[in-house]
Chain A
Amino acid sequence: MSKSITYIKRHKKGFIYFHWINAVTFFLLFLTAMPLYTNKFLFLYEAFGAETLQTMHHILGVIFILNPIVALLITARSGIFTLIREVLRFDKDDVKFLVKFPAELIGREPKGMPKQGFYNGGERMNILLQALLWLGFVVSGLTLWLGAGHISPTIRTWMIPLHSLCADLGFAAAIGHIYLAIGVNPDSFQGMRDGTVKESYAKHHHAKWVDSLEKEGKLETVERIVK
């Protein structure tokens, strides 16, 4: 039996590219640096050569720096301020959401969840965290890479723990993020593949956003036949 399912357009193509370039470079950056973090990953240096991986880390770093700059300037130029306002907003609905949300982690459905906007309270915290980590990575990374002779050694030595701390938090956050996308809400994962999400999912998880789209008449839907 096949049925028709309604999908809502959620993400622009450019944003999807931005997300995946960021994700892939992050993990490759993480891997190319791991041998400096734990000897368990020393085999990577032995297999590819320390210098090769260190050079790759620099090249990937440049991509990691440019990617959000290009993405923000080109695809999201009109929405930068909306995004910043959204991310910095935090109200009592967000608190309620964060209190009730953990039950979803083990597949429960918390009752009385407040309506969420385009991003829910947790997603907005993740965006803010990622933005801060990006800044931390870039400042500490560039200082370590190019700072010799320009920036005081005292500051430079602090960049090593800062860079590592960003990696600590970034990796833990990434694991949580992947679990939420694949394990908890696979429907949201669709949004990062073709930019659409099921209408039912959107109404369930981002009702405020769907309401506002409907009110403004901006709701774009796609019908798909699934078996």
Chain B
Amino acid sequence: MAQEMAMLHDIARCSACRACMVACKQWHDLPADMSTPFEGQYQSHATLTPTTWTLIRMTEHTDDKGKFNWDFVKTQCMHCGDPACAKGCPEEAIDKLASGAVVINEEKCVGCGYCVANCPFDVPKINPQTHKSTKCDLCFDRIEEGITPSCAKTCTADALQFAPYEEIEEIARQRVAELKAEGHPDANVYNPQGVGGVHMIYVLPEKPMVYGFNPQSKTPVSIDIWKDVVRPLGKLAGAGALVGVLGLAAVKGLTGKKKQDDDQNGKGEH
């Protein structure tokens, strides 16, 4: 499907049933992940892991009216419009598809971790077993067949929705208007433009920071400097030094003047 798509997580609707997490594991055939020991918490995993590509993160806050809130935030790849991971990948192993999905090509991935270092959302994780980078692929294979990604498909609360980009934007706007009417004046759509917009859009009842989102998230400039300046410069400098040295050697050989340092006495005048 060549159409640009988007997913929406409506935090006000999420009940943290975590069916999305299970559906993701089923579709991608990912094993159970016991990396976070149970210490009495409700949140299943501390962070995303190489085999947990989506996670319901739980945050707590008390609003200005003194009301306690327990919020559930679906954490996963944001599928940026200007993906730093793809830009920073030395092997061009990460593609941004027409649907908006940003997908790692496991065949090409060498596990260098540049995507991990460059991602403004701390999403990709290197799988130590396969030495490949891993993350949510927005079920790009399902999208190509016209099917909704597994997480959105399974969501019973309509907290997750998947549709063409403009449609999702419209739904998000409506939901924010509803939330404002319900007494959440700070309600907003989280779609940071610093990363070229995202294809994983959130409807937030409060300011982004409350949920650990940075409204200023942006694709780092450093990666452009690396790819467009430092790397070409290095090739130029390396090749230049080699060619230069060969040229000098050739001139030296042709002009044929051998140094006379071999003399016992050398050149006294120097």
Interface residues of A (CB under 8 A from B): 3, 5-6, 35-39, 42, 45, 50-51, 54, 105-109, 113, 115, 144, 148, 153-154, 156-161, 164-165, 167-169, 171-173, 175-176, 178-179, 183-185, 187, 198-201, 203-205, 207
Contact = CB atoms under 8 A, between A and B. Distances in A.
A149 B251 CA distance: 53
B112 A36 contact: yes
12 contacts: A6-B264, A36-B112, A50-B131, A54-B112, A107-B256, A153-B120, A161-B222, A168-B230, A175-B245, A200-B264, A203-B268, A203-B270
B2 to A, nearest CB: 28
Is the interface on chain B under 10, 10 to 19, 20 to 34, or 35 or more residues? 35 or more
Contacts of B220: 154, 157-158
Interface in B225-270: 225-226, 229-231, 233-235, 237-238, 240-242, 244-245, 248-249, 251-252, 255-259, 261-268, 270
A198 B111 CA distance: 51
A172 B238 contact: yes
A106 B255 contact: yes
Contact of B248 (A37, A105, A109, A161): A105
A213 B29 CA distance: 74
B249 A171 contact: no
Contacts of B229: 161
A223 to B, nearest CB: 11
B117 interface: yes
A160 B85 CA distance: 13
Given A45-B110, A157-B220, A200-B261, A172 B117 contact: no
Contact of A160 (B114, B119, B252, B258): B114
Contact of B237 (A50, A158, A169, A204): A169
Given A105-B252, A164-B226, A35 B110 contact: yes
Contacts of A199: 266
B264 A50 contact: no
B223, B237, B263, B267: residue with the most chain A Cβ atoms closer than 10 Å: B237
A161 B111 contact: no
B118, B256, B259: residue with the most chain A Cβ atoms closer than 10 Å: B259
